[in-house]
Each structure stands twice: as structure tokens, then as C-alpha cells.
């Protein structure tokens, strides 16, 4: 059984669409029944208060007999099956508490579930090595063992997928986990916990600690400094990641982080304009621009610039419809809160004051304080805030450039390097630019790059480690060298 504890007493967080409290998770749960309510307790000062209490015990953490791995694999597969069975209700929870359009929320649930399926299979493939030794009477083994208790801190923009991508790998490796979900989206995490219960995940293996925004820093610090925690996995801002690294350093914990991005989207003269516009739409406006890998800076070569801007504006006006996430026509929901809107507003105002042109959008939407019009800016320069500060909103600033070297230099000027995109029909240019971009992931003539099978992560100040793929489970495993003598 999974468990959860509440750090601090509080009402449900407000829905971004209405600013009224979001319905609790079980309001969308007509078939599963109302889950056990979370007990109220003080912010945890030890892991035991957070619901975990100890390092994993046999058989969960044992990587020896095949049947143990098969058991973990089977439980993860059951969890996956339950997510698929309840996909519509899970999607409604995401839309209710984050404002994400329902179709996108449904897509997130399927994407989330695939991580459980993937790692249910990887749980059976934790292989070690036999190493040849220089002395004939010796043999060497390399074992892979779980790191122990993993603290998982997740964001609000993908409240389901960011949990399963981390927790699936951790449980497959044999770790137990304590999840601190984002303050804005706790119900998605609790709904997953209910399904983990139903799947038969053992007591103390999967634990959830929701908390208020006021207590978030305290809870995060407690998890990072608790000596029972061996591993920290965090997705969020670079600034917060640095603070967590500082706290984790005192006990030298294993840390993996997926932090901020400021993705360049480069369109070269050789590109297919229509293809580039379609990629820009997909990359920029998914979840209203509130993704860490979405394009933030559109660098367009001068020969194709005017055509791209015109067609991009037309596509935005035609296909982007702002509204409540539950309305079928909606493709752009609200931003997560008014603070997020103010950031977009500030970047637009700064750019216009320095000479940028508003091609379309540019202001708050009439629907309410958390809505902002999808906005396209041209004549953007590198001294503007939107050129060097991640937006996390529906703003597309276009910078004109002359040469390939100039575009790569602008793209690599950021302190972060999560994802990058470019469009070109020149094979030699494709190889050159793909190798030169200082990012962890590159989309070539493609605006959507996230997939379960491929490693997700960045370079520079965009984080440490990789998630998903066959490499994701390694973040939760330790190597142990065993030397056998006298043979």
C-alpha cells in the first residue's frame, strides 16, 4: 500500500481557470471510491514523519533472485494497467487543478503510464558484469544495487508524468520513494497513490507528502538533509535546484535534476517554412508554453524571416483557442497563476519598450487574470528580457540572424542547455549544428522530442543525469565491486 501525509493544514489549491478551489481528486473518481484522506501533521523533520521511515527491506530492494525482479515488474505493470483503465478520470484531475486542456491532459496520462510499462520491463534487466582479473586465482564481479530511499520532488506542469518517470525507475531499481508533489497540483499525485494501492505496491514503498506553498521550502530541505534519504531527484527551476544541491551536499547524496531551459528554435534559409511553422506551433504552445523544453527563442535567417513570421502569425490566429481546459475547442488554457502571467507581461512590455513589434497578441486575455493571449514578437534583440530569460508562457519572440555561426552563438549564449531545435534541408548543416548546439536534446526538423525510450536531460545549468530510456534506471543504482580470491 502506498501512503501519504500532509505537511500543514490547508484547503485545496485554487483552479487556475476560476481561482476557486479545485475539486478534490475523488470528485473525478466515480468507480474507484474515495481514497483515505491524508492525515494532518507537521512538516517532516525525519523521513519517518514523511511516511517512509526506513530503507527498503527485503524483498523490495533485493536484486538477486529472478522472482524478486519479476515481482517488482509485475506490480509496476499492474499500476500501468490501472492508469490506462482510469485514464479519463486522471486527465480530468490534471485539467481541474492545472488548467491544461483536457486533450493534452489525456495525452499526458498515456505518456505517464508508458513510463510504468517501460520500467516494469527494465526491472528485469538489471545486469552486472564479470571482469577478467590479472591474477588467475581471482575473479571480479560488478553488482548493481538500489541506492536506498529516494526523495522525488516534482513540478506542476506535468503533475503525472514527472512522477512516473522518476518513480517508475526508482521502484524498478528496488528503491523506496517519498514524493513531494508541487503545491499547485497535489491531487494528481494522490490519485496515482490510490492506484498504487490498488496495484498492490507494498506498504512504505511509495509515499506522498503534499504541502502548502508556505511549507514547500521547509519540506524540501527536510528531505534533502534527512540521513535516511540516499537520493534526490528534482524537476523545477535552476534556482531551486541550486538550493537543494546545497542542502544535499552535507550528506553527499546522489542527486539528479532536470532544471530550467531556454530552448532555441532555429530556422535556416534552406528550411521548409510550412514544416518549420508546424514544428514551432507544437513546440511553443503545448501546455500554453509552460514546458521546460518548449522553444523560447526563435532565431530565423534573414532570407526566410518574413515568410516565417507571416505564416507563424496566421497559424496562431487560426489554431490557438484560449479557454477553459474542459471546453472541447480549447487549445490554450490559463497559466498556472497570476504570477506567471505577470512574468509574460513583463517580458512583452520590456521588448516593446526596446523596439520589438507585437505581431499578434501581447496582452492579458479577457477571460480572466490567469489568461494571456498567445503572443508573437518580431524585431527582437538580444538585450531584451525574453532573449535571455526563460518565459514559461505563450510568448514567441523572433530574432533575425545572418549566418549559421551567428545563430549557433546566440543559441549557446544561455547558461542553460536543455533542448534545442532547428530546421534545415542541408545535410551537412544538420550534422554541424546538431554537434555544435550546447544542449542535451536536439530536435532536427521536429518540434516534439519527448519519448519514453530516449534519455531526457540537459547540460550546463539545465541539470544532472538523465531520465527515461534504458539509462534512467541507472540514476537509482549503485555499483559494487566484489573481488573473489583463492579460486
Q: Say if CB 283 and CB 295 are below 8 A apart.
A: yes
Residues 370/324, Cβ–Cβ less than 8 Å: no
- Tell me what percent of the residues of the chain surpass a pLDDT of 90: 85
**Peptide bond just before 59 cis, omega within 30 deg:** yes
Of 40-44, 177-181, 360-364, the least confident? 40-44
On whether the CB atoms of residues 461 and 305 are closer than 8 A, the answer is no
For residues 475 and 424, give the distance between their C-alpha atoms in angstroms, rounded to a whole number: 35
Structure letter (DSSP) for residue 109: H
CB neighbourhood size of 71 (10 A): 17
Full-model pTM: 0.90
| pLDDT higher than 70, residue 58 | no
Distance CA 140, CA 129 (A): 8
> pLDDT tens digits, residue range 258-317?
999 999 999 999 999 999 999 999 999 999 999 999 999 999 999 999 999 999 999 999
**Hey, which residues are catalytic here?**
258, 292
Q: Residue range 423-429: average pLDDT?
A: 98
At which residue does the C-alpha cell 554537434 appear?
435
Q: Which of the four pLDDT bands, split at 50, 70 and 90, describes residue 423?
A: very high
Would you give the DSSP letter of residue 393?
S
Comparing 48-57, 158-167, 203-212, 467-476, the range with the smallest average pLDDT is 48-57
pLDDT tens digits, residue range 229-254? 999 999 999 999 999 999 999 999 99
Element (H, E) at 375: strand 375-378
Q: What is the b/e burial string over 185-199, where b = at least 16 CB atoms within 10 angstroms of the residue's CB?
A: bbbbbbbbbbbbbbb
463-464 and 254-258 beta bridge pairing: antiparallel
Domains detected in the chain: 3-259+462-483 (3.40.605.10), 263-451 (3.40.309.10)
Amino acid at each position: 500500500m502506498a501512503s501519504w501525509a500532509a505537511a500543514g493544514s490547508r484547503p485545496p489549491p485554487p483552479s487556475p481557470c476560476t481561482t476557486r478551489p479545485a475539486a478534490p481528486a475523488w470528485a473525478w473518481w466515480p468507480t474507484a471510491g474515495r481514497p483515505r484522506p491524508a492525515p494532518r501533521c507537521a512538516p517532516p523533520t525525519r523521513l519517518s514523519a514523511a511516511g517512509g521511515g526506513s530503507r527498503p527491506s527485503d524483498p523490495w530492494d533485493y536484486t538477486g533472485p529472478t522472482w524478486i525482479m519479476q515481482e517488482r515488474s509485475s506490480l509496476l505493470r499492474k499500476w500501468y494497467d490501472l492508469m490506462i483503465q482510469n485514464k479519463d478520470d486522471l486527465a480530468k484531475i490534471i485539467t481541474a487543478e492545472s488548467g491544461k486542456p483536457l486533450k493534452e491532459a489525456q495525452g499526458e496520462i498515456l505518456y505517464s503510464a508508458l513510463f510504468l510499462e517501460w520500467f516494469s520491463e527494465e526491472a528485469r534487466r538489471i545486469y552486472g558484469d564479470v571482469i577478467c582479473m590479472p591474477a588467475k586465482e581471482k575473479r571480479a564481479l560488478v553488482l548493481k544495487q538500489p541506492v536506498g530511499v529516494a526523495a522525488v520532488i516534482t513540478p506542476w506542469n506535468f503533475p503525472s508524468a514527472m512522477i512516473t518517470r522518476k518513480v517508475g525507475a526508482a521502484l524498478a531499481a528496488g528503491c523506496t520513494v517519498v514524493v513531494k508533489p508541487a503545491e499547485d497540483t497535489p491531487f494528481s499525485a494522490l490519485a496515482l497513490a490510490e492506484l498504487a494501492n490498488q496495484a498492490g505496491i507494498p506498504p512504505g514503498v511509495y509515499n506522498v507528502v503534499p504541502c502548502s506553498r508556505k511549507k514547500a521550502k521547509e519540506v524540501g530541505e527536510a528531505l534533502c538533509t534527512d540521513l535516511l534519504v540516499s537520493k534526490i531527484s528534482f524537476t523545477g527551476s535552476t534556482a531551486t535546484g541550486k538550493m537543494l544541491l546545497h542542502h544535499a551536499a552535507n550528506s553527499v547524496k546522489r542527486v539528479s535534476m532536470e532544471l530550467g531551459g531556454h530552448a532555441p528554435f532555429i530556422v535556416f534559409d534552406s528550411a521548409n517554412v510550412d514544416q518549420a511553422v508546424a514544428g514551432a506551433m507544437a513546440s511553443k504552445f503545448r501546455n500554453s508554453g509552460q514546458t521546460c523544453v518548449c522553444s523560447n527563442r526563435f532565431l530565423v535567417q534573414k532570407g526566410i524571416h518574413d515568410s516565417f513570421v507571416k505564416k507563424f502569425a496566421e497559424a496562431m490566429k487560426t489554431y490557438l483557442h484560449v479557454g477553459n481546459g474542459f471546453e472541447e475547442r480549447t487549445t490554450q488554457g490559463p497559466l498556472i497563476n497570476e504570477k506567471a502571467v505577470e512574468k509574460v507581461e513583463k517580458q512583452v512590455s520590456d521588448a516593446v519598450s526596446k523596439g520589438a513589434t507585437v505581431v499578434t497578441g501581447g496582452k492579458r486575455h479577457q477571460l480572466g487574470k490567469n489568461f494571456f493571449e498567445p503572443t508573437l514578437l518580431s524585431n527582437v534583440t538580444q538585450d531584451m528580457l525574453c532573449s535571455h530569460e526563460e518565459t514559461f508562457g505563450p510568448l514567441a519572440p523572433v530574432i533575425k540572424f545572418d549566418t549559421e555561426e551567428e545563430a549557433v552563438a546566440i543559441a549557446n549564449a544561455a547558461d542553460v542547455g536543455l533542448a534545442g531545435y532547428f530546421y534545415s534541408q542541408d545535410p551537412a548543416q544538420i550534422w554541424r549544428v546538431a554537434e555544435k548546439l550546447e544542449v542535451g536534446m536536439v530536435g532536427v526538423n521536429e518540434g516534439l522530442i519527448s519519448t519514453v525510450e530516449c534519455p531526457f536531460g540537459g547540460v550546463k545549468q539545465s541539470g544532472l543525469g538523465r531520465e527515461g530510456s534504458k539509462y534512467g534506471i541507472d540514476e537509482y543504482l549503485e555499483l559494487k565491486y566484489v573481488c573473489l580470491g583463492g579460486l
